[in-house]
Structure 1
Amino acid sequence: MTTLNEIPAVKAEMMIRKPVAEVFEAFVDPAITTRFWFTKSSGRLETGSRVRWEWEMYGVSDELSVLTVEPNKRIRIQWSGGTETEWTFTPRADSETMVEIVTTGYAGSGDEIVGRAVDDMGGYTIVLCGAKAYLEHGIALNLVADKAPYANVNR
């Protein structure tokens, strides 16, 4: 828990009823991740790599640094804007994985930090819901694309 003087940490979490290895792979392998989050990636997440993710429906992309990949346990990245996001994968049973996503390092005015944190929390919740639907039921819900279908900055 943060105090009033600390920069906030945003957390989203979801139980996905699949084995930890399968859930972890869905977040490091862009062939799977593109089914529920971004539309294009320059590569698989590996410690020390730089990866470009694209959301073509919105005309946006970001370059990120992969800080840590611990198979079936943890992924930590740094976005181009300086925030860091960490996924932790905790097996709860043979076919259950608790996924927690935490983002820290927000900068700017109080209003800017709060706005970005709220957007990130909502976004990661949608990503986790999409991952759950895809991994548990094989359904691509298009949640990210349909969140703001008319928000493409190139229109």
Structure 2
Amino acid sequence: MTQPPAVTAQMLIRKPVAEVFQAFADPAVTTKFWFTRSSGRLEPGATVTWDWEMYGVSTVVTVKDVEENSRILAEWDPESPTQLEWRFLPGEGDTTLVRITETGFTGTADQAVAKAIDSMGGFTMVLCACKALLEQGVLLNAVGDAHPAGFGD
């Protein structure tokens, strides 16, 4: 590799940009499709903890910048920090393209690529779950069902 990997996942969501932006900024919505608990909203300068209680894991997220209804820039996982950027691009007919990019993967080339691949799959799942919730009112529980107990690795 000549540079660390970067991953981007994106999804068109057929809802207005303000509603889609709030789905990621407001944990009252995000906990319905991604993590199970958050210590606060994604807003400029905030440091919040996200919990996935079903897996017994959590991470700290530091918000670097927010452009309302347009962009969220954050860093997560203080032990091996990477940068996250959400872009919310308004489209015709009250549609929004959500683009999530993660950069800064570290470790050996094999480790960085493995982390990037895992992240890409995770963000794709999160975007699908968000789309189902906002467009259809369906709680997919995709993140909670991704690694069910009793099935091994």
- In structure 1, the residue matched to 2:132 is 133
CA distance in structure 1 between the partners assigned to 2:29 and 2:97 by the alignment = 18
Name the amino acid aligned to 1:6.
Q
Q: Over aligned residues, Cα RMSD in angstroms?
A: 0.9
Give 3-state SS (helix, strand or coil) of 2:75's partner. strand
1:43-122 equivalences under 5 Å are 43-79=40-76, 80=78, 81-122=80-121
CA distance in structure 2 between the partners assigned to 1:92 and 1:6 by the alignment = 33
1:94 deviation in Å?
3.3
Give 3-state SS (helix, strand or coil) of 1:144's partner. coil
Percent identical among aligned pairs is 54
1:8 deviation in Å?
1.1
Name the amino acid aligned to 2:91.
R
CA distance in structure 1 between the partners assigned to 2:60 and 2:75 by the alignment = 9
| TM norm structure 1 | 0.93
Give 3-state SS (helix, strand or coil) of 2:120's partner. helix
Name the amino acid aligned to 1:109.
T
| TM norm structure 2 | 0.94
Give 3-state SS (helix, strand or coil) of 1:108's partner. coil
Structure with a larger share of its residues in helix: 1
Q: Deviations over 1:78-106 (max 9, x none)?
A: 01221001000000113100000000001
Name the amino acid aligned to 2:108.
S
Please list every run of 5 or more consecutive structure 1 residues that lacks an aligned counterpart in the other structure.
none
Corresponding pairs, count: 148
Which one of the candidate residues 30, 33, 37 is aligned to 1:36?
Answer: 33
Name the amino acid aligned to 1:52.
T
